[in-house]
Structure formats: C-alpha cells, structure tokens
Structure 1
C-alpha cells in the first residue's frame, strides 16, 4: 500500500525539506502561498495517535486551548490510537497539507516504528514533517506497593529469583515504556513477561489493580505515587526528576548509560506551506513557556522543549539509532 502524493513531495531528504522551510521555501507554489496567507479560516484538527489519558493526549489538550486562543479558530482533539501510533500517523500523512490537520505523537512513531514495521503503509520521515517539539517525557520505574522491594537493587534481586513470574505493562510493543523495560532486562539479565496494552492509561489501571507487577510509567501515574498507590523506585532518564529529587536514576543505581527519554511533538502532512509551519512553531514555542502549560507538563514528570523543526528532527534521528539498536538486539516485533 503506498501513499499518493503530488510530484515533488516524496524522495526529498527530510533535512533538505527542513532547510527549505527555514529559508522560506522560495520555490513554493502560488497556491500554497495563498493558503498560508489567510490561514486559519476554519477549525484545526489535532490527531492524537494514542488513546485518551496518556502522555500524548495530556500534552495535546494542554496546548490546544492556548493555541486556539492564539489562532482565533477552534483546535479540536481527535484520538486515533492503535498500532503504536501508526493509525493516527497514517491518517495525518494522508490528509490535505493545508494546515488544518496536525498530529501530536511521541517521537517513537518516527524513530521506533520503522524498525518494528518493515512494511508500513506510509513513511513517517517523508510523508510527515516536524512542526514543533513539545515535551521531553521521562519514564519512571514503578511497582505495585505490595511487592517487598524498596529500591532498585532489591527489586532486581527479587525478579531474578522469580524468572518469568513477574510481568510489566506498556502502551504497546515498541513504545518507549516497553523499550525501557527491554533495556532494563538486557542490562540486568532478568526475565519478566511483557504485557502490551492499547495505551498507557489501561496499563496503569491494571498495575493499580494488581494485574501486573511493574511498569515504566510515562508520568501519568505520578499522582498515584504521591498517594501511595504505587512505589517509585527509579527514573529511567540521564538525570533526576525535579518532582522527585531524592529518587535516583537507573544510571545511578548501576545501570550505566540508561536513557529511555522520548520527545513528544507536533507533525503535519508533507507539503504543508512553510508560513503555516513557521506560525505554528512560533505559537507552540511561546505556549510552552506559559506557566499553566509548564505545570501540566511538569505534572507528567516531563519538561517543555521548545525549538526549531530541524532540532526536533535531529533528536528523532538520534533516538532512532539508539532505540533501533535495542530493538534489533532484543528481537522486538510489533504486536
């Protein structure tokens, strides 16, 4: 199955396309320039390619209202989860490149999914263009509190003594929490059963219900940590979370170089006029600096990451190399 695009949209290196955006896309067609000059003149749809309640959904909703105020048109959220973000991603990739359909996604759709799905129905690096990064999301190693271990060392020993008897949940095969779990298993030599879900929220629900034993949570379970309903053992990031300054990173706990951070952000269909992309990037960067949005992102344990589309792309490519290695090493397959 292939994606039909007008001539000139496919086969162009993404870096070159981003440079064209920065330079003003001098070769843009007059119709595209006209579209950008009166945009927006109707509601804008933001497709979130994961179910409600997860990190992508939370970030999209935090930004949508101030973006609506800035643009003077409704910004509507539509959740299209499934296939680790591919369903929503394909929906946006096939949309008209007119600035009225955007995607909010974890970076994994670009950096991870091509390693998991060799026959994807669209090419995220060609059929989508980065608009603006939104947040760097950490993952937190949490367990159900009925488990005895109180720290990472005790937890590793506990799981090793019970090979295959403990389970961990994730939003799906190849999601950043899943890859964090596989990194953890690879560096410790332990064996635990992976249980994939259709989103972070249902995985959290089963962890709270005691149906699974632990998870690498993308921040949505931190209120349950504060309430004592989950036990936080470590942060899967190169540096500690300011929300829990006394909780060590896994690197500090002995898993050297452990880094499962991902960047969430906005994408548009390839061919979206450069002036529209520039306007969206500017507005989203400004919104990320507002106290209300900074607080919403901080409550997930993340941090805003304003920047250029090119910087967002470069981060995705670096993540692709890092996560691709663990996918190949652990022979991870899509659901």
Structure 2
C-alpha cells in the first residue's frame, strides 16, 4: 500500500475509533460523581440555583452532583478551573453573563476566553434586573427620574457592587442613553450597595431583583422598571426602561457550561437533564420567588446568546470606558 494512502486510512480509523469511544463514554455517563463549580461565594442567587440544579441532577443522573464554590477574581477563579478540566462532563460550571460576556472585556489579563474555552450546555435562567430608587427621590417612573437627573446633574448617587459590575454597566448605559449625569459610588459587593441605597447614602441602584425586591416589598425602595428588553412574567405590571429609553436593554443570565470539546451526545443529555431539573414545580416556584426566571433552551440557542452578548457588551464596555477592579 502506498505510504500516503496508509497514513490517510490510519487517520480515518483513529477518527472513527475516537467517535465510537465518545459515544460509548456518553452512553456510560455518568459512572462517578460530578462536580458543579460555582464561581461565587455561597448564599447568592447563583449558588441557590446551582444547589437546586445539583439536587435534581443527582436524582435524574443517579450520581452525586456536588456543588463546589470557588470564588474570587470576579468569578474568574472558578471559571478558569473548569476551562482547564477534561471535557468528560464530570466538571461543570454555573457561569453568568458577567463571567463570560463581560469579564473578558473588563480585565486586561484574562486566564480564559469566555466563548472559545467553554462548551455551552444549557441557558438556565434570567435573573430579573431592576431599577430602584430611594423613596426620597421625587420620581415615580423612569421619565420622572430622567427629568429630575437632568435638572440636578451629578446630585443623584448610584450604587454598584464595584467597578465593572453589572450594576455599574447598567447605570452607565442608562446615563448615556438617557443623557443624564449621576455620581458612581462603588461598593465591595451587592449587599452593601443595597443597604446604602435603603439608607439614602445613594439614591439609585440597578440590581438583581433577588436583592432589591424584598426591600421594595418592605417599602424601603421604589421599583421603577426592569432592564430587560420585554416585561418579565414575574412582574407583569412593571414597565421596562426601554419603554421610556428606546434601545436600552441589559439582561443577566445564568448558564451551565463545560470545558471546550465536550462530545455532542453528552451535551445533549446534560441539556435535557438540566432543563427538566429546573421545570420541577417546586424548584421553578422557589427560583421565581427570588426573582429568577428559569428557561429551557437548546445548547445551540445558548451558544448564540453567549456569542452575541460577548460582542455586544464588549463593545459597550469599550465605548463607556469601563474597567474592572
């Protein structure tokens, strides 16, 4: 046999064997515990979602799914751990819009590529992102807030969880789109940002409903709008910012990801399992009670969202001159 033909046949044989092995491994999956990395500290909405997911996956996959919180560097530490893991489905990540679509543009020295180094498995949920003000602000809606801010440039302080956070990006986008000027007051985390907005040290806050809605219910903050492109079914009577400021939109999602190169058969199985897990009535109700809307999307739909948001937010971050800590 000619040497070139022999090498070609050998390469084809190896490819076929690899494909067969991948299918066999997917069929046997899982045969040991799975680690679910959360790149944030315990107790937050990402962690609550991950633990609900792990509980249901443990039942449906018949193997322990163990949550491992690896916080630090704005989610980069845990995310990088998964990016470097074997693509065998035994190390997974609950990532977010901030870790994968924002961080790569905020930080000059990233240890991973938010799109290229991961396999999108399932778009798990959207967390409602709200615009709230301290009740001392004489604005009952977005239009009145804009009018007040224009009449008092720089007087309104807006809080954030830190430079480059989703709170910061949301407010900076609002300033530009609405043509207003406010003063940024960054904190080390979302909790103190909420506390000081309640205390009127800051007056405006864009933040997840998981943090703001309890204060709204208690009458300590006033809810003006949500930042998503359309109204959320969880707050049907609350308008969007875009209803007053056309084109304004920012959505914060959570997704299940694995390392780059996971077998398609394995991705499809995990996608189906994750989607089913979050549709369990008590799980769905629990997430909705804290302002998290569960989703059911294909891996391809998640990949499209990830790629589009990476480009969109990367461009916005550059235009606004925002940098991370």
- TM normalised by structure 1 equals 0.82
- Say if 2:175 is the partner of 1:185: yes
- Greater CA deviation, 158-167 or 260-269? 158-167
Per-residue Cα deviation, 1:256-294 (whole angstroms, up to 9, x for no partner):
021111321111112334333222111011123222232
Superposition map of 1:1-335 within 5 A: 28=18, 32-33=22-23, 35-220=25-210, 221-252=212-243, 254-335=244-325
Q: Give the secondary structure class of the aligned counterpart of 1:126.
A: coil
Distance 1:274 1:242, change over 3 A: closer
Distance 1:47 1:209, change over 3 A: farther
The answer as to whether partners of 2:115 and 2:310 remain within 8 angstroms in 1 is no
Per-residue Cα deviation, 1:70-129 (whole angstroms, up to 9, x for no partner):
112222222233333222211211223332211111123222222222431222222211
Uncovered stretches (5+) of structure 2, i.e. residues with no partner: 1-14
Larger radius of gyration: 2
Distance 1:180 1:31, change over 3 A: same
Q: Give the secondary structure class of the aligned counterpart of 1:104.
A: strand
Once the two structures are TM-superposed, the CA of residue 236 in structure 1 deviates from its matched residue by: 1.0
Q: Give the secondary structure class of the aligned counterpart of 1:125.
A: coil
- TM normalised by structure 2 equals 0.85
Q: Give the secondary structure class of the aligned counterpart of 2:241.
A: coil
- Greater CA deviation, 144-153 or 263-272? 144-153
Distance 1:172 1:35, change over 3 A: farther
Take 1:43 and 1:285, find their aligned partners in 2: how far apart are those partners? Answer: 20
Aligned residue pair count: 310
Uncovered stretches (5+) of structure 1, i.e. residues with no partner: 1-24
The answer as to whether partners of 1:53 and 1:201 remain within 8 angstroms in 2 is no
